[in-house]
């Protein structure tokens, strides 16, 4: 059995195998506009045989970027830059997907290779940040983070409109799967988790109220994202710290997301607070195992992520029913041709998973 190389149909979209590239910020855009870096970075992974290419976190408005180098999709120039990249990904028989989101209180940061911490308040490169409450990400830390604005009901309504507008643009420029970023302590996750959301209005309180912003966003996006195309959400399946969410809360959230029209769930983890496990995780299979439990409890098409590096490991995750799609992050940065290599290692004909121009190397 080589389940990793079986196709998968979700709504009207068919993935040629079960390997996807996890969304990964490249911090290389200018004014949110993609360029040659993104063209080659995304194109190479499509050439390498991944069936699904999830583009990096894409901001729904300028203040939704994590850093000045992050990609956005709020204007025509950004659409014009990405449309040919998506066309190329499709020409490689891969499916272009977008992750849309807002950085919340973790935004207005320098790019990682410039230190990552927030841009100084008096630096015109920075911008105001937003959160359910006016508490900075790491008020006592050595790296400074901006104190965010506590979002008003008007801010929340405006933000939902930004998500909807970006979803419409994503459709127009050729994305086929749209993922809502609701993980890693960014804006949507910061409303979900009690570690951050201590509001007392309709968007805070019990789990259902904390999930209101995400669920209303999902419903509004579903209304403009065509029914025949899959809608996904990335969640932090565990906050990995006392006082945060575990699997049970996330199963409930995923069930509500399903009712709101979400078809797929992408099970990442962590990132809510400085002391919680980071979003890139630790070398542990627990996050992947939790994805399997969520899949069994919800019936949602499930993507697992976190230290998936080995073809046999990835294959067994599909065979065992832990997930429907394996997402690889850093391993695909190391090796864009990992899917081709995995096919050969697992004894599968790699040709259907690689560009026709390269078939000669498989003979």
Ligand X SMILES: Cc1cc2nc3c(=O)[nH]c(=O)nc-3n(C[C@H](O)[C@H](O)[C@H](O)COP(=O)(O)O)c2cc1C
Burial 314-323 (b: 16+ CB within 10 A, else e): bbebbeeebb
- In the complex with ligand X, the residue whose CB is nearer, 247 or 280, is 280
- Per the residue annotation, which of 130, 175, 186, 307 is the catalytic one? 186
Can you list the alpha helix ranges (DSSP code H) found in the chain? 36-47, 76-91, 153-172, 187-192, 207-210, 212-224, 247-259, 286-298, 311-319, 330-334, 338-345
Least distance (Å) between residue 336 CB and ligand X: 14
Nearest to ligand X of 15, 71 (CB atom):
71
Cα–Cα distance between 274 and 138 in angstroms, integer?
Answer: 6
Query: Given the complex with ligand X, which of 113 and 154 has the nearer CB atom?
Result: 113
Least distance to ligand X, CB of residue 283, Å: 9
Q: Which residue's CB is nearer to ligand X, number 275 or number 334?
A: 334
Give 188-245 as a DSSP string: HHHHH-TTT----STTSSSHHHHTHHHHHHHHHHHHHS-TTS-EEEEEES---STTS-
Binding site for ligand X (CB under 6 A): 22-25, 56-57, 99, 181, 183-184, 234, 268, 279-281, 305-308, 328-331
CB of 269 to ligand X, least distance (A): 8
- State the nearest-atom distance from the C-beta of 98 to ligand X, in Å: 11
186 is catalytic: yes
Residue 193 or 268 with smaller CB distance to ligand X:
268
We find the least distance from the C-beta atom of residue 308 to ligand X, in angstroms, to be: 6
Nearest residue (beta carbon) to ligand X: 329
Quick one: 117 exposed, middle or buried, by C-beta within 10 A (0-12, 13-18, 19+)?
middle
Contact between 308 and 256 (Cβ < 8 Å): no
Question: Distance (Å, rounded) from C-alpha 313 to C-alpha 31?
Answer: 39
Residue numbers annotated as active site: 186
């Amino acid at each position: 059995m080589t389940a990793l190389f079986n196709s998968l149909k979700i709504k009207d979209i068919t993935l040629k195998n079960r390997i996807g590239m996890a969304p990964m910020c490249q911090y290389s855009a200018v004014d949110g506009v993609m360029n040659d870096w993104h063209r080659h970075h995304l194109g190479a992974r499509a050439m390498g045989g991944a069936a699904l290419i999830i583009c990096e976190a894409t901001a729904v408005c300028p203040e939704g970027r994590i850093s000045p180098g992050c990609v956005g999709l709020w204007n025509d120039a950004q659409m014009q830059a990405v449309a040919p990249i998506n066309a190329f990904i499709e020409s490689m028989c891969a499916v272009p997907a977008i992750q849309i989101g807002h950085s919340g209180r973790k935004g207005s940061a320098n790019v990682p290779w410039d230190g990552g911490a927030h841009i100084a308040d008096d630096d015109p490169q920075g911008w105001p940040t937003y959160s359910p409450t006016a508490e900075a990400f790491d008020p006592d830390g050595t790296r400074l983070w901006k104190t965010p604005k506590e979002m008003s009901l008007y801010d929340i309504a405006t933000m939902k409109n930004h998500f909807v507008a970006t979803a419409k643009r994503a459709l127009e420029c050729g994305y086929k799967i749209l993922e809502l970023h609701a993980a890693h302590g960014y804006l949507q996750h910061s409303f979900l988790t009690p570690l951050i959301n201590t509001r007392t209005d309709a968007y805070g309180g019990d789990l259902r109220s904390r999930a209101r912003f995400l669920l209303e966003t999902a419903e509004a996006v579903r209304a403009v994202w065509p029914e025949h195309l899959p809608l996904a959400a990335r969640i932090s399946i565990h906050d990995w710290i006392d006082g945060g969410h575990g699997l049970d809360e996330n199963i409930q959230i995923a069930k509500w997301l399903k009712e709101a029209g979400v078809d797929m769930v992408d099970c990442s983890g962590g990132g809510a607070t400085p002391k919680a496990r980071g979003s890139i995780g630790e070398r542990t299979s627990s996050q992947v195992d939790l994805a399997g439990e969520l899949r069994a409890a919800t019936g949602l098409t499930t993507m697992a992520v976190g230290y998936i590096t080995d073809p046999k490991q990835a294959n067994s995750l599909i065979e065992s029913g832990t997930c429907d799609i394996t997402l690889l992050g850093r391993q695909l940065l190391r090796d864009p041709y990992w899917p081709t290599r995995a096919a050969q290692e697992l004894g599968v004909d790699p040709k259907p998973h690689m560009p026709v121009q390269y078939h000669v190397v498989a003979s």
